[in-house]
A and B are shown apart, each in its own frame.
Chain A
Amino acid sequence: MDDIVGDKNAKFKELYNQDGVFLRQAGEMYTPMFGCTGSLYLWEHISDAESKPEVPSRFLEWRPQDFVELKTALDEGSEEWTLIESVKKRCRTSSGNMVKDFLNSIGNLNVCFSNIKSLRCSKHDVLTTFYDGSCELLASFVFPTSESREHFLGTIQAFVRLQPTRRDKSLFIVYDAASPGFKDLEKSFAALDLKTDSSFWSLLKNIKSNPYEKSMEAFAKVTGYVYNSVDDEEHYMAQDDLQRSISEIGDDASAYAVYDIPNCLPMRVDYPRCNPLTREQWRAQLNGEGQLEDVESIKTLIFRGGISPDIRRVVWKFLLGYYPWDSTEKERHALDISKMESYYKIKMQWTTFSKEQEDNFSDFSQRKSLIEKDVNRTDRVLDFYAGENNYNIFSLNNILLTYLLYNFDLGYVQGMSYLLSPIYMLLRCEVEAFWCFVGFMKQVMSNFDYDQNAMKEQLKSMYLLVNFIDPQLSKYFEDHECANMYFCFRWLLVWYKRELQQDEVARLWEVLWTGYPCKNFHLLIGVAILEHERDALMGDNNGFTEILKFINELTGKLDINLMINHAEGIYHQIKDADHLTDAVRNILGIPVAEASGLQSKPEDDRSPRKGVSEPDEIEFEKSIYSNFLSSSTGRLVFLFRP
């Protein structure tokens, strides 16, 4: 299938040609072309000897139009920045060089028509997906208009018959015209001889011209009509034929059960990571007032590749709310001053406590001693925080004590020092680090609530996501008393800080702070890790103890860029899944409209699937409680249901 057209172009007849067809997905080797538009062709091979009775082979070809333009642009030596701009909409995940290399190494996308065993026609949009005989996706296209798709479907029906499956009416089995099933179908239609009846005609015409519509329904109507037309004897006879052909189709459809893929996730698409945001890119976005022109594209760049270390100091202050995104240079200058003033005002509140005052304020002095103990145990292996009487440890202590006064209700909780450490290490300024820490804490404060409800909620969401992505793994957790997911506690409490090196933490956090591509993306990072380690997790009949131990020992072994990359792929799989549930949608904040069209279609009968795909929350709750104690659960519950 590498080069079906090649030089032999002359021997092929063009059956169909459509420009502006968007390639959504195909085999892995075509990844850089995903999201590009191009021309779709349908070619038919013209046999050398016309007398040969064999069916001529046909194939689909898709030529990436953008890529031709892009390649030209590349060859002309455009700057990288221009390139990113021009690629952004179509395939924003690819870096320029990758595209170029790719273009040199691979031709167009070709799919042998005989390999297509089924196709899915989404009713809402014009997305059309082709599958082979083992449920593997061959290619997925978005046609420019519904007319162009209808024209395409009309064309292919010259030599194939499309038969909707019983359970999923947007999925069609592709029958070759030469197959016996197809001939039977033809015969029974012929036997009906319904040309005199206009309503029948329109029905049949519908089936022929709009086969992706619910043809089975049409069949039902045909049957109904035949049964009801009592005064036409011929119809009685035809009725038998019709019934037979329907039952044959039915049998055939069940033989093709493999095509019915109720809870199949869309194929994982690779979203390669890009280069970090550079100083030049950042500067290019600042106008005369020092105001950022296009915040969204800056955030996108940060999400895609993180921030180059030399400008992290500036950009983190935006990400953590120290500076508003739309602030001008002048406003930022004023903010620097006012933030400094207010920091020292709060700091003074505790620095001026007398010994006596402190002794009489046990809530404060207890927390103070806890902070002291903790900063002495925070990242001391890093040079920056190492050694006796390290000034940086002293600063961590100051910032945390000031934060204690700033948010006394929350108090100090173990873990906070780890959230502060990377921020202070980067900014090296108490005032800035304090306010950036405040910004970060706003996002994760509930992690440190006394009742731990926010943590439990996240662990539960994590379970639901795993259940959606990898039901086998979630089942394993359930069967091994780990469905409470407590082994992920540390990940979520301090955003993987304890699993990663300081520079990796910085990269992960800045990506997460963009808030892209969805709510709670940090959970998907965890899902990506679990999925990546699934075999080890499920090996040796591991229980909670072994899993916790395994997870603890992942520290220092994670490839965080790869995990971000996987997490993004998972996000898109979830978002585009046909069986996306509200529970999962809510976790990630995916609006209904953005979700795959099939799901929201009211007439879509999804009820048989629901029971399978809805994650069992009751089971999850049960497992949480049962995990605490086998004999005296009743008494324990109060701890978790205050």
Chain B
Amino acid sequence: MANSSIAAVSFKVVLLGKGCVGKTSLVLRYVEDKFNGKHITTIQASFLNKKINIDGQRLTLAIWDTAGQEKFHALGPIYYRSANGAVLVYDITDVDSFQKVKTWVKELRKMLGRDMCLAIVGNKMDLEEERQVPVEEAEEYASKVGATHWFTSAKLNQGVEEMFVGLARDMLAKNALAGTLSRQSSIRRNMLVVTDDEPAPAKGCCSSGA
């Protein structure tokens, strides 16, 4: 299974979350290492590529940044369809934004099953003193739904790269297990449900390929 790990792969990642939690800031920080507290509202969606190399495996992340507001929720499927991973962002100072993450998790699991790797991200950790979402609650929820959990600050550039790389590793692992490494894994097969709750074991298989 690991023999084809030299071939470059491409993963589609979609950022979802309530308006103004920092989705665009996370992407801009990660892809262009920029931060601007006064950037513009995302209407519709934007799209950026990031090429990375994990343990010798070259991969391209096609990152979709979406509009956050509830009214644009109906557009979600256009962007998350055939995505390999989702970054679900909330603002640690905004309880409501965490509720919105839960809504997205529910919808993604319902629509796409468990094939998609999820990363739940508590952004704005620079505002720790204003924290409204308890750390334990968030982490517990994430593990319950089979997602990884991260804290980031796009502003201070903390945890952003780790989060994207971590998600990339998960997607690689899931991909390797699915045996579709040489192909775009946009085709979903229900028989892969086997990998459901244990994305971790596959990691080794991938890194050894280097």
Q: Which residues from chain A contact B47 at a C-beta distance below 8 Å?
A: 545, 548-549, 552
A494 touches B43 (CB 8 A): yes
The chain A residue sitting closest to B12, CB to CB, is A545
Q: Tell yes or no: A380 within 8 A of B by CB.
A: yes
A361 to chain B, nearest CB (A): 15
**Judging by beta carbons under 8 Å apart, are A627 and B81 in contact?**
yes
> Is the beta-carbon distance between A452 and B41 smaller than 8 angstroms?
no
Query: Taking the nearest CB of chain A, how far is it from the CB of B100, in angstroms?
Result: 11
B28 located at the interface, meaning its Cβ lies under 8 Å from any Cβ of chain A in the complex: no
Q: How far is the CA of A377 from the CA of B67 in the complex (A)?
A: 13
Do residues B77 and A629 form an inter-chain contact, with CB atoms below 8 A?
Answer: yes
Interchain CA distance A380-B20 in the complex, whole Å? 15
| Complex Cα spacing A156 to B6, Å | 76
Q: How many residues of A contact B (CB 8 A)?
A: 41
Q: Is the CB of B44 within 8 A of A490?
A: yes
Q: B76 to nearest A CB, angstroms?
A: 8
**B82 contacts partner chain A, Cβ-Cβ < 8 Å:** yes
Instruction: Pick out which of these stretches binds chain B: A276-284, A290-298, A471-479, A634-642.
Output: A634-642
Q: Are A486 and B75 touching (Cβ within 8 A)?
A: yes
- Asked if B144 is at the interface of the complex by the 8 Å CB criterion, the answer is no
Is B71 a contact partner of A452 (Cβ separation < 8 A)?
A: yes
How far is A640 from B75 in the complex, measured between Cα atoms in Å?
9
Within 8 A of A (CB), among B65-87: 67-69, 71-72, 74-75, 77-78, 81-82
Instruction: Please tell me if A413 contacts chain B, counting CB pairs below 8 Å.
Output: yes
Contact B38 A376 (CB under 8 A): yes
Q: How far is the CA of A628 from the CA of B78 in the complex (A)?
A: 5
Let me know if B9 is at the binding interface, CB within 8 A. no
A631 on the B face (CB < 8 A): yes
A51 interface residue (CB < 8 Å to B): no
A-B contact count (CB 8 A): 91
* Bound-complex Cα distance A498 to B39 (A): 13
- CB 8 Å contact bits of B44-75 with A (1 = contact, 0 = none): 11110000000000000010000111011011
- Which residues of chain B have C-beta atoms less than 8 A from A487's C-beta? 44
**In the complex the two chains form, is B20's CB within 8 Å of A374's CB?**
yes
A415 to B75 alpha-carbon distance, docked (Å) = 15
Select one of A377, A548, A549, A640 contacting B40, CB under 8 A: A377
**Contacts A377-B39, A493-B44; is A486 near B77 (CB within 8 Å)?**
no
A493–B20 touching, CB < 8 Å: no
Pairwise interchain contact A370-B69, C-beta atoms closer than 8 A: yes
Residues B62 and A545 in contact, CB atoms below 8 Å apart? yes
Say whether B159 faces chain A, with CB atoms less than 8 Å apart: no
Taking A377-B40, A548-B47, A627-B78 as contacts, is the C-beta distance between A635 and B67 under 8 angstroms? no
Interface status of A448 (Cβ within 8 A of chain B):
yes
Please tell me if the beta carbons of B111 and A635 are within 8 angstroms of each other in the complex: yes
Closest to B189 in A: A631
Can you list 17 A-B contacts with CB-CB less than 8 angstroms, sorted by A residue number?
Answer: A377-B20, A377-B40, A377-B41, A413-B71, A414-B72, A415-B43, A417-B41, A448-B71, A486-B75, A489-B43, A552-B44, A628-B78, A629-B112, A630-B82, A632-B111, A635-B110, A636-B111
Given contacts A414-B19, A489-B43, 16 further A-B contacts (CB under 8 A): A370-B19, A370-B69, A373-B20, A374-B19, A376-B38, A377-B20, A377-B41, A414-B43, A450-B71, A452-B72, A486-B78, A489-B75, A490-B43, A493-B44, A630-B81, A640-B74
